[in-house]
Amino acid sequence: MANTGTEHTVKAFDTDINELRGMVAEIGGRSEQAIAKAMRALEKHDLKLAEEVVAEDKLIDELEKRIDELTFQTIALRAPMADDLRELIATFKISGVVERIGDYAKNIAKRVPVIASTHKLGPASLLPSMSNIASELVRDALEAFARRDADLALEVSERDQIVDDFYTSIFRSVITYMIENPKDIGEAAHLLFIAKNLERIGDHATNVAEMVYFAAKGEPMPERDRGENPTDLLEEPTTGR
């Protein structure tokens, strides 16, 4: 039985829930913006913008704390049941996940000075496109939360495969580049880390989507069929011996 947003007899409960939902929308918006800014800083070699992303991450951390406090307080004082309980638990977990997304954006921003020194994305030219998809997933996962839309959440989870595919592709080209240009290995490694951060952002957007699905439906999201798993790339090839 999904939450239809009908009012509670105790209106103060609705006030708390609406305040929480507002804060989740805000933390989501800030994280999405952080990804966009960090990537713009990377492409334009804008160190000032990169510093801004790092500084603004504190606001995201602060929001996470406020969301957790109010969720905790609401659970203690209102003893929520059924969809209310599921939604509050989801809110609690989503705030933590979205805060991590902010951290990944900050991490990208922190690498800008190193990449900026040589002014090229080189083998990782797909990064901006990958970042657009990852940002979209974050936006849609939070939109699904706002609309309590399990179908949109499911779609986000399925679209994470695109981000994974981007990562696989960037991974291969960066490794090739490293082999061919050993002197640029340090910088190429940073590009690889940025790709990995974006891949993790996609995973976290999926985590948010899973929470949204659970809150709406009261059951875990069905497992999606995964294509090539990016972490498989790290495994040793089998030699057959």
Partner 1 sequence: MTDLVDSASTSESSTMTESTVPAISAGDGPLKMTTRNVDVFYGEKQAINGVSIDVTMDNVTAFIGPSGCGKSTFLRCLNRMNDTIPIAKVTGDITLEGEDIYAPKMDVVQLRARVGMVFQKPNPFPKSIYDNIAYGPRIHGLATSKDELDNIVETSLQRAGLWGEVQDRLQDSGTALSGGQQQRLCIARAIAVDPEVILMDEPCSALDPIATAKIEELIHELRGKYAIVIVTHNMQQAARVSQRTAFFHLGTLVEYGVTSDIFTNPTQEKTRDYITGRYG
# binding residues, partner 1 (CB under 8 A)? 17
Helix, strand, coil in percent for the chain, rounding step 5: 80, 0, 20
Q: How far apart are CA 168 and CA 163, in angstroms?
A: 9
Burial of 146 (0-12, 13-18, 19+ CB in 10 A): middle
**Least distance between partner 1 and beta carbon 79 (Å):** 6
Query: Which of 32, 83, 140, 199 is in the footprint of partner 1 by CB under 8 A?
Result: 83
Q: Enumerate residues 203-232 that contact partner 1 by CB under 8 A.
A: 218-219
Q: How many CB atoms lie within 10 A of CB 96?
A: 13
Contact status: 1 vs partner 1 (CB under 8 A): yes
DSSP element (H, E) containing 172:
helix 150-180
Q: Which stretch binds partner 1 (CB under 8 A): 60-68, 78-86, 98-106, 138-146?
A: 78-86
Pick the closer one to partner 1 by CB: 7 or 235: 7
Query: Which of 30, 37, 86, 200 is in the footprint of partner 1 by CB under 8 A?
Result: 86
Neighbouring C-alpha atoms within 13 Å toward the C-beta of 139: 11
Contact status: 13 vs partner 1 (CB under 8 A): yes
Return residues touching partner 1 (CB under 8 A). Answer: 1, 6-10, 13, 79-86, 218-219
